[in-house]
């Protein structure tokens, strides 16, 4: 399957990446976040500070939430801090890094924080109390839902894990949030959350051997890759049942394994593999429903394969160190 070059633009390093759901572009270096227009011209810059754990840009591109080592703060389009909420510092125990995201309408901030220590408990009369909840894990890191306008804690849930890192996924239904948490040698955990009618509902998969990489554009399924398992799987949402599985031996060479898998469009999944040196090996296309192997992406002569990113609406981007290249499957 040939890759068709759509555009090629010179870019300084680090090159730009697309914001969630294709709503803009950004570069991030040494605490400075720069938003770019479609021509990659900078139009807004935020100083996110040192010891940055994560950040997220609001749907209207006017605000940024920055997760620091011991706080979460919201900045407006002028760089002014509108509010800041403290939490136990990352790295205090075995929790090293988190993630954050805005809800679909920008009214909430979802953020993971380390296990809350003595004297750091959030105090808010409107926050949901988990102590009597049947589905609560009363230990480990927490998932907070914060009012984006005021910084007030709306709800929180214990996750029962200690993250080395995590990624928050916005579900297309605008209600649910997905959370992939890596725990190093202890594997990976997947959580689903929804805040409705003043209550945060949380569920988790029992499998700690797989990582959530993407959600189908229609929201009815999601794809996972192995951490301590075999092959790529597609699961139903919200049921979480496996509806398709492709073992490694069916599409991988003996010296490679999948490192990422994203929905290229509603019908196909783009998979990246790496070799034993953690170097990008191949880009493969699988059917989104049954994971049937559709083909390997072949690039024009002289193109050095590199990690894909900014997968969106049938296109993806690569960066060769000097140029940002946009691709789509050849017709």
Nearest in space to 164 (alpha carbons), one of 229, 108, 99:
99
pLDDT band for 310, please (50, 70, 90 cuts): confident
Q: What is the pLDDT of residue 132?
A: 39
Domain assignment of residue 142, yes or no: yes
Count of structural domains within the chain: 1
Buried residues in 88-126 as b, exposed as e (16+ CB within 10 A): bbbeeebbbbbbbbbbbeeebbbbbbbbbeeeeebebee
Please indicate whether residue 137 or residue 94 has the higher confidence score (pLDDT): 94
Is 52 buried (19+), middle (13-18) or exposed (0-12) by CB count in 10 A?
A: middle
Instruction: Examine the pLDDT at 81 and tell me if it is beyond 60.
Output: yes
Domain assignment of residue 289, yes or no: no
Q: What is the pLDDT of residue 123?
A: 45
List the CATH number of the domain containing 182.
2.130.10.10
Domain assignment of residue 181, yes or no: yes
In this structure, are residues 214 and 190 in contact, taking their beta carbons and an 8 Å threshold?
no
Q: DSSP for 188-225?
A: EEEEEEEEETTEEEEEE-S--BEEEEEE-TTSSEEEEE
In this structure, are residues 143 and 135 in contact, taking their beta carbons and an 8 Å threshold?
no
- What is the number of alpha carbons within 13 Å of residue 66 lying toward its C-beta? 24
Domain assignment of residue 3, yes or no: no
Query: Which structure tokens are listed for 301?
Result: 């002569």
Name the average pLDDT for the chain: 88
In this structure, are residues 251 and 244 in contact, taking their beta carbons and an 8 Å threshold?
no
Domain assignment of residue 259, yes or no: no
Q: What is the pLDDT of residue 131?
A: 42
- What is the number of alpha carbons within 13 Å of residue 317 lying toward its C-beta? 20
pLDDT digits (tens, 9 = 90+) for 217-247: 999 999 999 987 789 999 999 999 999 999 9
CB atoms within 10 A of CB 193: 22
Q: DSSP for 127-188?
A: SPP-TT-TT---SS-EEEEEETTT--EEEEEE-S---SEEEEEE-TTSSEEEEEEE-GGG-E
Q: What is the pLDDT of residue 21?
A: 67
Structural domain harbouring 120:
48-208
Q: Is 250 helix (H, G, I), strand (E, B) or coil?
A: helix
pLDDT digits (tens, 9 = 90+) for 170-190: 999 999 999 999 988 778 899
* Average of per-residue pLDDT across 299-314: 86
* Average of per-residue pLDDT across 253-258: 89
pLDDT digits (tens, 9 = 90+) for 107-143: 999 999 997 654 445 544 444 444 434 444 457 899 9
Domain assignment of residue 1, yes or no: no
* DSSP conformation class of 22: G
Domain assignment of residue 153, yes or no: yes
Q: What is the pLDDT of residue 185?
A: 77
Q: For residues 18 and 26, give the distance between their C-alpha atoms in angstroms, rounded to a whole number.
A: 6
- Give the bridge partners for 72, in sequence order: 67, 85
Domain assignment of residue 162, yes or no: yes
* Average of per-residue pLDDT across 58-85: 95
In this structure, are residues 236 and 221 in contact, taking their beta carbons and an 8 Å threshold?
yes
* H or E element in which residue 294 lies: strand 293-296
Q: How far is CA 28 from the centre of its chain?
A: 16
């Amino acid at each position: 399957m040939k890759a068709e070059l759509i555009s090629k633009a010179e870019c300084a390093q680090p090159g730009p990446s697309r914001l969630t759901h294709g709503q803009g572009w950004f570069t991030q270096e040494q605490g400075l976040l720069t938003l770019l227009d479609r021509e990659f011209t900078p139009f807004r810059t935020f100083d996110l500070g040192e010891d940055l754990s994560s950040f997220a840009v609001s749907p209207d591109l006017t605000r940024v939430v920055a997760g620091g080592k011991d706080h979460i703060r919201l900045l407006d389009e002028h760089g002014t801090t509108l509010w800041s909420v403290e939490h136990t510092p990352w790295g205090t125990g075995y929790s090293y890094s988190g993630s954050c995201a805005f809800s679909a309408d920008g009214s909430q901030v979802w953020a993971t924080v380390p296990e809350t220590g003595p004297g750091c408990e959030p105090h808010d009369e409107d926050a949901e109390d988990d102590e009597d909840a049947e589905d609560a894990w009363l230990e480990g890191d927490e998932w907070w839902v914060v009012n984006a306008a005021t910084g007030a804690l709306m709800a929180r849930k214990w996750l029962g894990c200690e993250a080395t890192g995590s990624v928050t996924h916005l579900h297309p239904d605008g209600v649910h949030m997905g959370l992939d948490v890596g725990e190093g040698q202890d594997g990976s955990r997947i959580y689903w959350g929804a805040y409705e009618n003043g209550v945060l509902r949380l569920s988790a998969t029992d499998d700690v051997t797989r990582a959530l990489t993407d959600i189908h554009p229609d929201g009815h399924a999601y794809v996972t890759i192995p951490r301590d398992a075999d092959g790529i799987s597609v699961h139903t949402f919200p049921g979480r049942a496996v509806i398709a599985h492709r073992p490694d031996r069916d599409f991988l060479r003996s010296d490679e394994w999948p490192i990422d898998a994203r929905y290229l469009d509603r019908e196909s999944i783009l998979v990246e593999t790496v070799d034993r040196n953690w170097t990008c090996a191949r880009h493969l296309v699988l059917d989104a429903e049954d994971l049937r192997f559709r083909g390997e992406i072949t690039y024009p002569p002289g193109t050095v394969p590199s990690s894909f990113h900014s997968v969106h609406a049938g296109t993806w981007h690569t960066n060769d160190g000097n140029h940002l290249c946009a691709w789509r499957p050849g017709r």
